[in-house]
Structure 1
């Protein structure tokens, strides 16, 4: 058994930031625990490796959900399984959300999380290739850049958006209007900027920082109402470590509620049915889950454009890999999605309520826990989702055995708001692909297909043919009330010496991709920990 001042469970986007900040004080000792292994595979550094990594069980967890939708399919939610967590395997799209998102956190009774508090955090952590401004940071540890592809097919897509009145932009974080442009991503000079490369690796040689890989945290040790350490397994053997100051769970919105529930912190009925003694009856641990339902549209092109011809064959893949190896350039140096856009599904809205990401390739039928395979014929793919869904799902343990499957209920599209917005975004994207100059490139829609027109048909197609957004929040949400899982300083109610710092603490979605906001949440949390 080992002793440290701080134990951080999870070396993902939040954990790497916390390890960096807390170990900056040489007078404290920090243990960072990661269930996966080292992030040494070249596929992590190569942006184009994302689609391969997300299907590889060696580098990604695949959590099955309850069956849902008309076909009662089981979906697999993917999370990173290596240093850097999901930031080492994701699509690298960088969006922060906007003022209204963070001001809502504050208005819900969470002081210190408003935009005026969070914008300085973003500016501190960012090293944006566009340079510093009132809303951007430069010189920080996290590299962010925008690749201007300037290819005719992609330029036509942007041209169609501007014809619809959407502003072309290079920085999506400058405003909250309808806009589109080339993807801003955590990439610099053709290499992924993960949380591990940005925050952890530069400080790995600190003598007061210990990083334990292949180490699974199963439970938090509780004594007298205080968190005093963690128990788990390291390379299959029993593992225990003690914390003098705090245990911090940064294992994400899926695993953090699992660990709390296995530790006896959660809904009493859930714990008892799983055979776990109740230490703290906290009814919303694992509840209040929000997740994007991503609708997928695909189109056949009239000409042999896009990446299918490059990456759809082994020969093309080898040529692309050779180009990347020689120059860190080419298609494999870019994020998977070339274009990002935000738009309103109704003109009377104050701000966009839908986001899309467009790729100049199209995929074959998805198979669980396998890499994406591209079609051979030329195509384009677009995924889109309602930005701020209000349907609530849940995550529950089913047994006291930490290896037992979780009960993950996405409860997608359960509200009229989510259904109406999702139908509106599909119709809006069809307008985009039907607008010149992009329309001239489109032969026909292949997914879900022109026969899918009615509202319920669109919803059913989204449930059966779409996917999760990989943006789960809310399962340990912060708030001012006694039944909120954590308080505004992210301390777990009912226990001392225990915090949660990851996406699970967000009670609502931010308007964009989640990796940037989680990084900022961890930086802000470090301020709170260091001040306390």
Structure 2
């Protein structure tokens, strides 16, 4: 008999499977709609770009139209063991101490920095060595780029000219700082959640992993969840029963989808979709927050950086061959090479913005489309309002599990986000006006110097910026009856059901979410095993 059924083998699910199966008396089943991560492209850090067009490997979630041009975009998510950690940009951030203490302030005891920092130290195998804030010997390897392009050092120097502190480890402090991006990469190969937490324990007799199983609905006995129904690769339905609990780890889009499809969600959404209401929960699928990246691109005066190595099939082939020989070069690097945390205004008490930079540039594209590196040399930067307050939503449109979700991004819907976004954009331009990088630049290629007014800045971010792929909040935890889950991640009004993924976050963690959600899942396993 299975004790725990974990639905979703992404960053959180892999950690939960590892931790819950440590006790040989506990039987754990992990089900994943996607397949194996054996394809070599999953292992090459920048290989994920070749996978994005394949719906058997990547989920494609179209959004509702937004922005002045009323465009829609595709939000990709990993459909594979490791989930989105197998296709993400691999940048490893931990967030700020104040982010976790804010969870406690909002009524979620046990999630403060005093709890989470020791977990980060426990899970890390940090190439920089152990300190009071870093760990070694853990299952998750994180490292700096092996052979950064010289332009990266010039971007860091420009940051110091702007007043930022150059650091070796950008996760060591929470002040204004700049440095090479830490990444979940080891020896030039991606280190996904599956590689770190799942594959090393696949031999445990009390752990079963099922792939190709799409969860379609939860199974109930009265007001308790007793399992989940899934559709296998041949279209047949299989019921997986849990003696203790079912844990949903499908992410901020698919977790509320499964809850709503099972009758737990806003009554009006379920009624419109033709789903019988079991529990009216307005918060399921609501309060979503997502980073919208403002973009800035420049043409270089000289043929420097990565573009010449990646812009044509022939050049890609040569670069790939060199990568296979020494696991170095641009294919061994994370999505962005340099990262900075800064304040949009000097009077703030901590950074409210993040810059991600690289010695390359791509043609303008929409999220989910194939990315094409420009032939002419360039550098680029994207920037995020770290803690957005704008809210979007996720809702099912039909009882059919294959029907598309209605995803409303809600970008820049608040005065706070628009104000910080405008200030941040001007700081981005100020950054690239600093030496030594300023002398390398020919001109701004996007959005162009004609973009000056506040309205034009936001419009450019909406029409030509990018999704951060950091959605949170659609099953947010909190102390009130209206909150979807409590501080122990139990779904209110339903027995034997928990949620552990980014959807439980009521506020955004400052930066990329892969590291934080793995640490939170580590703690969640303790809560589950304690029966709390």
Question: What corresponds to 1:384 in structure 2?
Answer: 383
User: Where do 4+ consecutive residues of structure 1 move more than 4 Å?
Assistant: none
Secondary structure in structure 2 of the residue aligned to 1:171 = coil
The answer (yes or no) to whether the contact 2:148–2:337 under 8 Å persists in 1 is no
Partners in 2 of 1:368 and 1:510 — Cα distance? Answer: 22
Structure 2 residue matching 1:172: 3-state secondary structure = coil
The residue aligned with 1:100 is 98
2:16 maps to what in 1?
18
- In structure 1, the partner of 2:216 is 218
**Corresponding residue number in structure 2 for 1:467:** 466
How many pairs are equivalent?
530
- Which residue number in structure 2 is paired with residue 176 of structure 1? 174
Within the candidate set 102, 117, 120, 1:119 is matched to 117
Cα distance, 1:149 vs structure 2: 3.9
Preserved CA contact (<8 Å) 1:57 1:369: no
For the structure 1 residues 180 and 54, does the alpha-carbon distance in structure 2 shift closer, same or farther, using more than 3 Å as the test?
farther
- Residues 145-164 of structure 1 show CA distances to partners (whole Å, capped at 9, x for unaligned) of 01264533221111110001
Offset, 1:174: 1.2
Cα contact 1:306–1:379 (8 A) shared by 2: yes
Which residue of the partner structure matches residue 323 of structure 1? 322
Structure-2 residue corresponding to 1:48: 46
Q: 3-state SS of the aligned residue for 2:402?
A: coil
Q: Is contact 1:50–1:336 with CA below 8 Å preserved after alignment?
A: no
Query: Are the aligned partners of 1:249 and 1:499 in contact in 2 as well (CA < 8 Å)?
Result: yes
Residue of structure 2 in register with 1:203 after alignment: 201
Give how far 1:367 is off: 5.0
The residue that corresponds to 2:347 in the other structure is: 348
Counterpart of 1:496? 495
What is the aligned partner in structure 1 of residue 269 from structure 2?
Answer: 270
Length-normalised TM-score, structure 2: 0.98
Q: Mark the runs of 5 or more structure 1 residues left unpaired by the alignment.
A: none
Instruction: Output the TM-score relative to the length of structure 1.
Output: 0.98
Deviates more, 1:307-316 or 1:489-498: 307-316
Q: Which residue of 2 aligns with 1:406?
A: 405
Match of 1:68 in 2: 66
Report how far residue 331 of structure 1 moved. 1.7
Indicate which of 186, 189, 194 corresponds to 2:187: 189
Q: Match for residue 237 of structure 2?
A: 238
Instruction: Report the secondary structure of 1:212's partner residue.
Output: strand
Rounded to whole Å, the distance in 2 between the matches of 1:502 and 1:102 is 15
Uncovered stretches (5+) of structure 2, i.e. residues with no partner: none
Moved more, 178-187 or 145-154: 145-154
- Whether the 8 Å contact between 1:55 and 1:372 is mirrored in structure 2 is no
Contact 2:75/2:368 (8 A) holds in 1: no
Q: 1:37 to 1:150 in 2, by over 3 A?
A: closer
Which residue number in structure 1 is paired with residue 126 of structure 2?
128
- The answer to whether 1:523 aligns with 2:531 is no
TM-aligned CA deviation for residue 277 of structure 1: 1.3
Summarize the alignment of residues 288-437 of structure 1 with structure 2, pairs less than 5 Å apart.
288-367=287-366, 369-437=368-436
173-182 or 80-89, which deviates more: 173-182
Give CA-to-partner distance per residue, 1:33-67, whole Å, 9 cap, x none. 10110000111111121322334323211100100
User: 2:329 & 2:411 partners in 1: Cα distance?
Assistant: 37
Report the alpha carbon displacement of residue 260 of structure 1 after superposing the two structures with TM. 0.4
> Are residues 456 and 115 of structure 1, via their aligned partners in 2, closer, same or farther at CA, if it must alter by over 3 Å?
same
Structure 2 partner of 1:255: 254
Give the match for residue 55 of structure 2. Answer: 57
Distance 1:430 1:368, change over 3 A: closer
**Distance in 1, Cα, partners of 2:525 & 2:150:** 45
> 2-side partners of 1:253 and 1:192: how far apart?
23
Alpha carbons 2:73, 2:366 under 8 Å: kept: no
For 1:252 and 1:107, the matched residues in 2 are separated by: 24
The root-mean-square deviation of aligned C-alpha atoms, in Å, is: 1.1
Quote how far apart the aligned CAs of 1:221 are.
0.8
